[in-house]
Structure 1
Amino acid sequence: MLTGSERFAALLRPANLRGLLPLILIVVALETGTAKIGVCETGGSLDALGTTADTLIEQLGSQSYATRLRARESLQRMGLEAFDELHAAQYHPDSEIAMTARHLVSSLLVSWSKETDPEQVREILHEYGAQTEDERRARIAMLAELPKHEGLAALVRLTRFETSLALSRVAALSLMRQTIAEDETAHRVEQIQLGLGQGDRAPVIWLAAYADDLKTGVVDAKRWDKLIDQQRQQLDTASAVQTTRPSILELVRVCANQAWLRGQTDDAQQLVEKHLDLVTPTTRELSEACRWAIKTGLYSTVLELRNRHTQLFDAQPMLLYSAAEALNASHDPEGGEALAVRALGTQPIPSDLETQEKWSPNDLAERAQSHREIADHLQSRGLFDWAEAEYRMIIDRLDIVSMPSTSARISLAQMLGDLLQHQQVVDVLTPLVNRISSDDQFRNQLNFQHRNLDAMRSMIHWHGALAKIEQGEIEQAKPMLEKALRIDPTNIDILIDMYRLEQDDPQWTQQTETLIKMSTRDTQKLIDERETQLRRPGQFFGMGGSLADLLNQYAWLVSNTQGDYARALRYSRRSLELLPNEPAQLDTLARCYYAVGDFQNAYATQVKAVQLMPHSPPMLRQLELLEKAAQADLPKQ
């Protein structure tokens, strides 16, 4: 029997050149990109097609040239339905079969979209196969983020047919990470099973298991444990070409998250802790692992990581804060507070001037910046007391004219404002504003940094007024609110607070309503101008973001005060079309629904906003308001 190379050499003999011509033409077509595989729409039996494909693949190694040629042409005509078998045949023991299969898989141009795909999906998949791997990865992310999960079928298709196993994994995991409503489950299972086929690629098997879990409503933890073990075994074998620790760790986290969402906390915990050795013992990797575990609610995982990597945790403030947060959530607030104090004292800013003078200005600025980043991160996680301690260390230990100190004051004031600690906002900002007013060099430096002095002055008067209102001193608050608005007329929240001021004063009411009408009129004028600009040819596409901000500003002011509520709702929806899934825009849309009396949609929309920004105090306060309104409205439904 001739070997693959001997059969290929035999084809080059003169007697065989005439028969070789069709093959040469096919190869030319492949190399020039004119050969093309389309998505098969026949809907025929996958088993039957699989058998045919397997038979044809074996014929690629036939001693008969005509048989090999017919097999190759038939596989081309079968389209993507032969892809699974061709992909497996790349590792066939017959070298000629393997070589031909690899050539077919890599050379053929695939039409990745179907006519039944939504328009956005077809646009994303246009010339998908001609892109680099990084670009294809970006397009997979775009498919996963489409509204109403319109990219579902395409993600299944890419999981099955993407030539890069790494990207096949990305497609599968992107699909599995999507949040779905209970009434979407049946359709999702149907779409996955319809497009998945019977391939034996690992990501295909994952999606099949995921669909089964959706169908039963229970995550099969033992099945996933075996699938993950199979991936781990590949790390130490020659087959681990595209299997990496990060890719397995991502699979573990997706599976654990699915189990946690279904209330299978023990299963989620066991899956994660069995594979904690996949987390590389570096500050970056441990921080990421802690963030994920806390977000998922697996606090014991953070504590286990600290037990395994105590030295690294004790040297890094953010890791200590993560462990402190985990202790708090594990009903050990004293232990959590002790760790937080320890974190604050780890890598601190020197407290005395003598030590600071030994540091270079750059080193001191870098240390302050690291604590600023820690404070910002703690604030984003809702750990406001610990964030305040970090901000105040920067403020207390650095000169007021240093940029890190200025930034920390402004951030702390904004956080305190969100927490309704109005007098503290005044106390934090007043020394800064006084110094700016008396120090020309400092003021010029801040102007260069685009710091808005008027905005800070306005905040002092605004929050000072709100502090007076809390004390029942309404008349003293009024002129402070008026001054705050005069200094910074762009802050519409001041107008909203003026409108909500509860007192019997017709003159104040009339004045406030006039100011609201003026503001909405001015904003409408800016909206009209921006709409006109965007309709002109060649305008910069990014201007849509500024239009979205204007629409959102109009909608927020009107929905919180008075005016055309229906228009406010339209504008809010439009802003979200321009900037999808923006928490602030969703927060506004919820308020607009509330203004028009649609309390159920108001609450549902606010839930989405809070999911995207779960620790925002203003959003949480509005969520509480809208939840009560929705519950009170239920008997009317």
Structure 2
Amino acid sequence: MILICTVLLAFWCASWAAAADADPAARAQQAEGLIAQLASPVYVERQGAAIELEALGLPAVEPLLASAESPDPEVAAASRRLLDRLAPRWARWDDSPSVRQVMSEYAQQSEQGRLAAVAALAAMPAGESASALVRIARFDTSPDVSETAGLLLIEQVAIAEEAALRAVLPAVIERVNRLAGPSQRASGRWCELLAAQVESPEDAIAPWREAVAGQSQRMAAQDPGRGSPGAGVLRWNLLRLELDADAPRDAVLETAEALVGSTEDQKEGYLERVLGWSGKAERWGVVQALVERHKDTLTSKRSRYLLADLAMLQGQQEQAQRLADEAYDTPATDRDARLNEDSPEIDGGVVVAQWLETRGRPEWAQREYYAATGDDAALNLSSVCAASWLADSLHDNGQEAESAEVIAALLSRIDATPESSRTYGQLADRWRVIPKVNTLRATEAFFRGLAAQAEGDAKQARDFYEQSWGFDPTNADVLIAMHRAAGDEDAQRDRVIDRIERLARSMQLMIEEDPLDPTPYNQWAWLVANTEGDYGKALRYSQRSLQLSPGNAGYLDTLGRCYFAVGDVQQAVDAQRLAVDKMPHLQVMRRQLEEFEQKLAEQHTPTK
């Protein structure tokens, strides 16, 4: 017994010394040889191999994951025991509080619990949970869990185009590989390819084609009749790469047709996505070929508008307008309505109009909105949303008087009878997307104030702003407009400043009640940066909101204004460009960017 212990101690000392000297890839290769010794009939050899494997650390995890499925029960059991001891530290010190909360109990969760954790991580702002998802993709013992984490990362990069994730992913992969070596596991390899494609999309195309083929073969071997949803996600990423890298037309079409042909229920939706991506990449040969092949499928209102949009992007204005007219005359379908996952009860035409706004086609969107808000329209979820979104669209384009008239017409319908007033109240109570009546009244007065100010009537503008504030004293934009229109009267300006300070104190209380809610930080920063107060604190609060909600376009818009307030115009321009990149269709963001860029140009213009 003493001899055995002495031998094992020697194994332990030698193995730790060797592990300290070897790089991760060499340790992984060494692990494969040691695993074979787990089947040795000699006890000392088995235990010695186990000790050496444990000393190898994370590089031994992937070889042990494979041997845990060994037909030899001794090897499989020993591998599972070692995996329990080699489990990584799932929660890291540099994770955000939200990520640490999810990962703190990860090791104790069942497979279903870990899948739920993966879903929670994927729902966080892109980039925040990247490190945790990569850890899971590399080291979770369940193939389903690890592949789900890898596939969700691919969806964020390829389908959602999350720039924040692309920015951090190479560093995350480099850190993991420094500790564990390159991955031989499918899900780990996907993560490495994602990082590689950020640096060189062209070089990543061939490896991704191999990954698609490999995943399809694995899924077919497991269940020949199941198909390969995982291969579909990989194929979407491949298509994105081929388009961005200007791959040959036939190669792109082959990938596109494989995606479109993989589903019957979602065929039109897949076609729309492929066409949208191809149009953005200006691959007009691909667009033309797909439209010609699948014109009988592209029949919904949204599909027809997409064809009109693609024609406009090619400079074919007459054809684009003709196609848009055809789309307008096309009845909306249930599929059009389902595009709004939060409120599928909204009419499909209204939902398509909202989508048109994101495509930068407000004139087409407004026509759909007007159709849903006509005099004969019932007072329901769809007509109210159409009116509210139409007013927002007109306001974004600087048409303040028209915006006010849309809200006034809606209020007239609400106030027509006690029954209509009750109906609206019930709608507002049920649907968060519908504003309260007083909010509508405040919005109408605010838009009328903006219209008066644009006409140069400062007094009438101030009167309307007062009306708006009376209906809703929590609207920061109204106080900002009041501050800009206050004039030279000290009493008037003092009254506005007092209101600003009171609202700021209210927002401060909200921050203290829930320090992890980014909204009040952003609201405080926006209010102060656009009026007066502690601009440095506004900048810190804006930065905090983005720490809690990375990449939020609205918060980036606020950050730009905060930098401008403290006099850092270059940083203001940089932040505002990021905001515009995320929501290029919003004219209000573009106008703020123009303001900042003009100021920056003035600073760089030599004085005479």
Q: Shorter-normalised TM-score: what interval?
A: 0.7 to 0.9
Task: Name the aligned partner's letter for residue 366 of structure 2.
Answer: E
Task: Name the aligned partner's letter for residue 89 of structure 2.
Answer: W
How far has the Cα of 1:597 moved from its partner?
A: 0.5
Task: Name the aligned partner's letter for residue 312 of structure 1.
Answer: T
Q: Find the aligned partners of 2:228 and 2:166 in 1 and give their Cα distance.
A: 33
Q: Find the aligned partners of 2:288 and 2:115 in 1 and give their Cα distance.
A: 34
In structure 2, the gaps of 5 or more residues are: 6-15, 334-342, 429-434
How far has the Cα of 1:567 moved from its partner?
A: 3.3
Q: Match of 2:494? A: 514
Task: Name the aligned partner's letter for residue 356 of structure 2.
Answer: L
Q: Cα 1:494–1:525, aligned 2, differ >3 Å: closer, same or farther? A: closer
Which one of the candidate residues 425, 435, 439 is aligned to 2:413? 435
Q: Cα 1:126–1:431, aligned 2, differ >3 Å: closer, same or farther? A: closer
Q: Cα 1:403–1:591, aligned 2, differ >3 Å: closer, same or farther? A: same
Q: Is the 8 A contact 1:302 1:322 kept in 2?
A: no
Aligned-pair identity (%): 27
Greater RCO, 1 or 2 (C-alpha within 8 Å, sep 6+): 2
TM-score, structure 2 normalization = 0.78
Q: Match of 1:525? A: 505
Task: Name the aligned partner's letter for residue 502 of structure 2.
Answer: D
Task: Name the aligned partner's letter for residue 365 of structure 2.
Answer: A
Which one of the candidate residues 309, 318, 331 is aligned to 2:315? 331
TM-score, structure 1 normalization = 0.75
Q: Match of 1:30? A: none
How far has the Cα of 1:87 moved from its partner?
A: 2.7
Q: Match of 2:30? A: 52
How far has the Cα of 1:68 moved from its partner?
A: 4.2
Which one of the candidate residues 160, 165, 170 is aligned to 2:138? 160
Q: Cα 1:189–1:461, aligned 2, differ >3 Å: closer, same or farther? A: closer
Q: Find the aligned partners of 1:516 and 1:249 in 2 and give their Cα distance.
A: 57
Q: Find the aligned partners of 1:258 and 1:195 in 2 and give their Cα distance.
A: 29
Task: Name the aligned partner's letter for residue 506 of structure 1.
Answer: D
Q: Cα 1:342–1:85, aligned 2, differ >3 Å: closer, same or farther? A: same
Alignment of 1:253 onto 2:236: yes
1:545-560 correspondence runs (5 A):
545=517, 548-560=518-530
Q: Match of 1:566? A: 536
Which one of the candidate residues 401, 423, 434 is aligned to 1:423? 401
RMSD: 4.2
What is the CA deviation profile of residues 106-143 of structure 1, one whole-angstrom value per residue up to 9, with x for unaligned ones? 76672334877557566553332332445434545676
How far has the Cα of 1:520 moved from its partner?
A: 1.8
In structure 1, the gaps of 5 or more residues are: 1-17, 23-37, 350-364, 535-540
Task: Name the aligned partner's letter for residue 488 of structure 2.
Answer: P
Q: Is the 8 A contact 1:105 1:163 kept in 2?
A: no
Q: Find the aligned partners of 2:276 and 2:401 in 1 and give their Cα distance.
A: 33
What is the CA deviation profile of residues 485-529 of structure 1, one whole-angstrom value per residue up to 9, with x for unaligned ones? 334433332333344349xx633xx35422321222211332454
Task: Name the aligned partner's letter for residue 588 of structure 1.
Answer: T
Which one of the candidate residues 387, 392, 401 is aligned to 1:414? 392
1:52-451 correspondence runs (5 A):
52-64=30-42, 67-68=45-46, 70-72=48-50, 74-90=52-68, 95-96=72-73, 99-100=76-77, 103-104=80-81, 110-113=87-90, 120=97, 124-133=102-111, 135-137=113-115, 139-140=117-118, 154-172=132-150, 177=157, 179=163, 187=171, 190-191=174-175, 193-210=177-194, 218-238=202-222, 245-258=228-241, 264-266=245-247, 270-271=251-252, 273-279=254-260, 280-282=262-264, 284=266, 286-287=268-269, 290-291=272-273, 294=276, 297-298=280-281, 300=284, 305-314=290-299, 316-348=300-332, 369-396=347-374, 398-450=376-428, 451=435
How far has the Cα of 1:605 moved from its partner?
A: 1.9
Q: Is the 8 A contact 2:542 2:562 kept in 1?
A: yes
Q: How many residues align?
A: 566
Q: Match of 1:458? A: 442
What is the CA deviation profile of residues 410-447 of structure 1, one whole-angstrom value per residue up to 9, with x for unaligned ones? 22112211221122223322233233334122112222
Query: SS state of the match for residue 247, structure 2?
Result: helix
How far has the Cα of 1:317 moved from its partner?
A: 1.8
What is the CA deviation profile of residues 140-162 of structure 1, one whole-angstrom value per residue up to 9, with x for unaligned ones? 56767889957666554433322
Q: Cα 1:452–1:160, aligned 2, differ >3 Å: closer, same or farther? A: closer
Task: Name the aligned partner's letter for residue 245 of structure 2.
Answer: Q
Q: Find the aligned partners of 1:154 and 1:544 in 2 and give their Cα distance.
A: 20
Q: Work out which of the two has the higher radius of gyration on C-alpha atoms and give 1 or 2.
A: 1
Which range moved further: 623-632 or 101-110? 101-110
Q: Is the 8 A contact 2:38 2:75 kept in 1?
A: no
Q: Is the 8 A contact 1:523 1:550 kept in 2?
A: no
Task: Name the aligned partner's letter for residue 604 of structure 1.
Answer: D
What is the CA deviation profile of residues 168-215 of structure 1, one whole-angstrom value per residue up to 9, with x for unaligned ones? 344445666363699979856743542452443223334444555556
